[in-house]
Structures are given as structure tokens and as C-alpha cells.
């Protein structure tokens, strides 16, 4: 069994909460879903989960997730496959005036 790392890249607001810009998640052969990846990435940083997903487990409306540059929220959302070794970016929409 080969173990590779999938990197979850965090935006500024989430970086400030955990003190680092990315979280590495060990991934075995095969794919996992965005939901499974977020579960693993946030297991040690529960505060992040509440900022990215709502109480029902869905992505918050202002959050986008990109898997290797592809917007997962436009496709299968949390069920989007994440290949081992992928780069996953979490993006928070910024608004205000």
C-alpha cells in the first residue's frame, strides 16, 4: 500500500485560526471524497469545520472548494473525488462595503 499526501490549502481567515496555511492528509491508494478529506483534515482542528460546513454537514454558501484547480462546488460538491496527492484549496468569499 502506497501512502501519499493530499494538501488542503487554507485561506487567510482559516490560517489565522490554526496558525498554518495548509494541512497535510495521508491518503492511501485510491480516491476519497471532499467530505472524507475535510473530515480527516479537520479532525485535529474542529473549529475549521464550523467555518467551512454548516450544522448539517453541507458547505457553507460562501465557501468554495477546488480540487486540483477544478471547482468542486459546481460538480458533485462534497462527493467530488479527490485523488491521492491532490491539492485542495478552500476559498472563502469576501464581502463588505
9 in Cβ contact with 88 (< 8 Å): yes
Is residue 67 classed as helix, strand or coil in its secondary structure? strand
For residue 70, name the pLDDT band (cuts at 50, 70, 90). Answer: very high
Domains plus CATH for the chain?
3-8+17-69+77-87 (3.10.20.30)
Specify the pLDDT at position 21: 95
Specify the pLDDT at position 77: 93
10 in Cβ contact with 21 (< 8 Å): yes
Query: Measured between alpha carbons, how far is 14 from 85 in angstroms, rounded to an integer?
Result: 22
CA dist 21 → 2, 7, 14, 80, 82 (Å): 25, 10, 8, 23, 19
Task: Tell me: pLDDT of 36 over 90.
Answer: yes
Amino acid at each position: 500500500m502506497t501512502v501519499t499526501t493530499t494538501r488542503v490549502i487554507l485561506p487567510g481567515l482559516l490560517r489565522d485560526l490554526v496558525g498554518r496555511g495548509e494541512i497535510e492528509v495521508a491518503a492511501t491508494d485510491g480516491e476519497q471524497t471532499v467530505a472524507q478529506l475535510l473530515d480527516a483534515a479537520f479532525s485535529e482542528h474542529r473549529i475549521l469545520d464550523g467555518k467551512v460546513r454548516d450544522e448539517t454537514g453541507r458547505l457553507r454558501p460562501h465557501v468554495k472548494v477546488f480540487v486540483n484547480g477544478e471547482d468542486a462546488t459546481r460538480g458533485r460538491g462534497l462527493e467530488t473525488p479527490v485523488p491521492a496527492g491532490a491539492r485542495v484549496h478552500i476559498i472563502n468569499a469576501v464581502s463588505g462595503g
